[in-house]
């Protein structure tokens, strides 16, 4: 197995520096918060009662995090739309946000183009591309991302501006303190998870070693459901490995019955249960019982707890751990974590079919 304490391997297998983007996530949060706090909001945003974020992949995960983070607020209703056609429920009080890092995601462009004919508030979050051109042509506000990376590595810019938006419209409170705690939590974690921290003291390196060669399944609940989804995507894109996610308590109504067959899967699967003290007490009980069931089925698994006092820090602490773990697993797999060749191939084939 690759020695994760050999710093030379990071130059060899990570020539584009994905590790640098993971390092910069705390600073991303700070810069995104500052920039979004200065972003001018149109007057008609004040009357919204629904938000539909149109996006895919790494550009949509911020909206998924927001949806769970703000789920206790009465308004607005937040939906994440990952499709070509705009939902029929759009009305004059629906804010449509197109989130596409590249600005060229075809599903997002399709649904946002349909929104042009709707009498509703709109905005875009992007670096440029066709989306920015479309929005500017229609005088729709654009929050421009000026951070160069893969879309999944720009999470701060797809998530924090959405929190800022809700805070400035009066839907949530306590925002600055939450963001600052999340930043400080990640900064403290960086000193424990970075590549120069030896495996003996680095929980992300240790976890990656346990996951090496396994099919990975991530369980989450409540505010950690989209975090589990983030882990799944990071293992797919960074580590180039099979991974899936499920959520409590739905998985207790079906998945726990399916651990028996095929028999060989028990030896080749590793289940990660992401846990937070903010979850419902009955959900926390389900974590313990599910762990017992996995133990009986002889399926390797591990409960991983969040850090931080408030929900945002708890979510982001586990996001950060997942990012580092997926990165170290890429090193163990001896693959460059940055390119996503199959996604590029798929887009090329789709373009040829127009």
- Catalytic residue, chosen from 64, 107, 195, 237, is 237
Catalytic residue flag (residue 237): yes
- Catalytic residue, chosen from 253, 264, 341, 354, is 253
Q: Is 181 helix (H, G, I), strand (E, B) or coil?
A: helix
Under DSSP, the state recorded for 112 is: H
Is the Cβ–Cβ distance between 51 and 91 less than 8 Å? no
Q: What is the dihedral of CA 90, 92, 93, 96, to 10 degrees?
A: 50
Is the Cβ–Cβ distance between 286 and 248 less than 8 Å? yes
DSSP secondary structure string, 255-313?
GGG-SSSSTTHHHHEEEEEEE-TTS-HHHHHHHHHHHHHHHHTT-EEEEEE--SSSHHH
- Catalytic residue, chosen from 93, 214, 300, 347, is 347
- How many Cβ atoms from other residues are within 10 Å of residue 354's Cβ? 5
CA distance 175 to 164: 8
**Stretch (H or E) spanning 100:** strand 94-100
Q: Which residues are catalytic?
A: 237, 253, 347
């Amino acid at each position: 197995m690759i020695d994760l304490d050999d710093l030379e391997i990071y130059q060899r297998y990570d020539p584009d520096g994905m590790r640098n983007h993971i390092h910069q996530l705390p600073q991303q949060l700070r810069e995104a918060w500052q920039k979004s706090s200065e972003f001018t909001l149109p007057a008609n945003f004040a009357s919204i009662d629904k938000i539909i974020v149109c996006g895919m992949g790494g550009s949509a995960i911020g909206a998924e995090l927001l949806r769970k983070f703000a789920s206790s607020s009465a308004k607005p209703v937040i939906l994440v739309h990952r499709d070509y056609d705009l939902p029929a429920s759009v009305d004059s009080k629906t804010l449509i946000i197109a989130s596409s890092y590249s600005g060229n995601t075809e599903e997002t462009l399709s649904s946002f183009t349909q929104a042009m004919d709707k009498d509703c508030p709109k905005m875009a979050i992007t670096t440029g591309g066709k989306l920015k051109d479309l929005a500017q042509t229609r005088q729709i506000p654009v929050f421009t991302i000026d951070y160069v990376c893969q879309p999944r590595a720009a999470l701060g810019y797809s998530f924090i501006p959405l929190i800022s938006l809700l805070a400035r419209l009066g839907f949530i409170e306590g925002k600055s303190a939450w963001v600052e705690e999340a930043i400080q939590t990640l900064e403290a974690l960086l000193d424990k998870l970075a590549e120069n921290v030896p495996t003996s003291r680095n929980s992300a390196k240790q976890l990656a070693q346990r996951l090496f060669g396994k099919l990975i399944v991530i369980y989450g609940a409540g505010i950690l459901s989209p975090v589990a989804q983030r882990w799944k995507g990071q293992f797919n894109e960074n580590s180039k490995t099979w991974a899936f996610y499920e959520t409590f308590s739905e998985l207790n109504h079906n998945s726990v019955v399916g651990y028996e067959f095929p028999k060989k899967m028990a030896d080749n699967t590793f289940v990660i249960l992401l846990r937070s003290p903010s979850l419902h007490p009955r959900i926390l009980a389900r974590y313990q019982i599910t762990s017992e069931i996995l133990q009986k089925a002889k399926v390797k698994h591990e409960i991983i707890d969040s850090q931080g006092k408030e929900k945002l820090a708890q979510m982001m602490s586990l996001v950060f751990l997942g990012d580092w773990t997926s990165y170290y697993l890429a090193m163990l797999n001896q693959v460059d974590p940055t390119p996503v060749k199959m996604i590029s191939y798929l887009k090329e084939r789709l373009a040829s079919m127009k």
